[in-house]
Amino acid sequence: MKGTLIVVAVFAAGCLAGWSGLADPGNFGWAVSDMTMYVLYLLIFLVGVSMGCNPELKKILKSVSPKVFLLPLATIFGTLLFSALVSMLISGWGVLDCLAVGSGMGYYSLSSVLIAQYREASLGVQLAAELGTIALLTNIFREMFTLVGTPWLLRWFGPFAPIASAGVTAVDVCLPVIIRATGDRMLPAAIVSGVITDFSVPLLVSFFCSLQGG
Amino acid sequence: MFYLILTMFAGVAAGLLMRKVRALAHIGKAISATIFIMLFFLGVKIGADKNIVYNLSTLGIQALVLALAGAMGSVVFASLLYRFLFRKGTDN
């Protein structure tokens, strides 16, 4: 929860700086707009490195029954399917936009900046920033929904439900809540699901963004 | 078109090769710092654009719809998976 607050605070500080005119994106010019693109590549590279050098990864992948890997697949598939379905209810954004937002899987910080940066070329700065904001809010809401709704999800949909709903956060923010509700036996499933969906976020977000040219 | 994904796999390869490097234990902090910088500038772009500020409630409602859809979509398939493949016999 502390992490979420920091993210919201940083984002809000940026909003205030922009709103008050303290920082003017118009003055950033070409150099900075190019630079943020490089920062995006740096970020993605670092995310890759952190996955590659994770010592836990091999251990976890070896120790769990292969069937458990179906859980993150079901999570990703269900999220994408329903995101595509509700895109019909959402005016102004296409299916691919909604799929990119849904692909955040609860990883709000990464998905929002990825979308805002990567769609800037095809949508323009303003719309890209709007879609980035939607991604930020959507995935924060998803985390909150899981934190609050875990007991209810467990009762009505079984022990996999809160893990699926948590998406990426099954392995960090939501893990304590999930384990307290479901018991220790769901620990491997939560970790596998969180790690695999974590891996899918940058892949899927950039996939759906690049389908629209960028 | 897929340079971003390519970059990520280059990162994974680099991470695998440098697994022994101690400094990489702190890579999470580097990622967070980079994300915070980008989040701040995303905020600046949004704050500077009065249109977005006025649209914030619309964006919030759209986000709520997408959040519930995404969460419940995954919940439906995860609960089907549990019911048909896991519940009978021994768990895990």
Cα separation, B51 vs A166, whole angstroms = 32
Q: Tell me the two tokens of residue A71.
A: 């859980």
Cα separation, A194 vs A164, whole angstroms = 9
Cα separation, B54 vs B64, whole angstroms = 17
Q: What number is the average pLDDT over the span A14-22?
A: 85
Q: Domain ranges in chain B?
A: 1-49, 55-86
Cα separation, B91 vs B72, whole angstroms = 23
Q: Which residues of B touch A141 (CB under 8 A)?
A: 63-64, 67-68
pLDDT in tens, B66-92: 999 999 999 999 999 999 988 765 444
Q: Tell me the two tokens of residue B65.
A: 């719809």
pLDDT in tens, B9-34: 898 899 888 888 878 878 888 888 88
Q: Domain ranges in chain A?
A: 68-211
Q: Is A171 on the interface with B (CB under 8 A)?
A: no
Distance of residue B83 Cα from the nearest chain A Cα, in angstroms: 8
pLDDT of residue A213: 60
What does pLDDT average to over chain B? 84
Distance of residue B3 Cα from the nearest chain A Cα, in angstroms: 9
ipTM of the complex, rounded to two decimals = 0.85
Q: Tell me the two tokens of residue A67.
A: 């069937």
pLDDT in tens, A65-92: 889 999 999 999 999 999 999 999 998 9
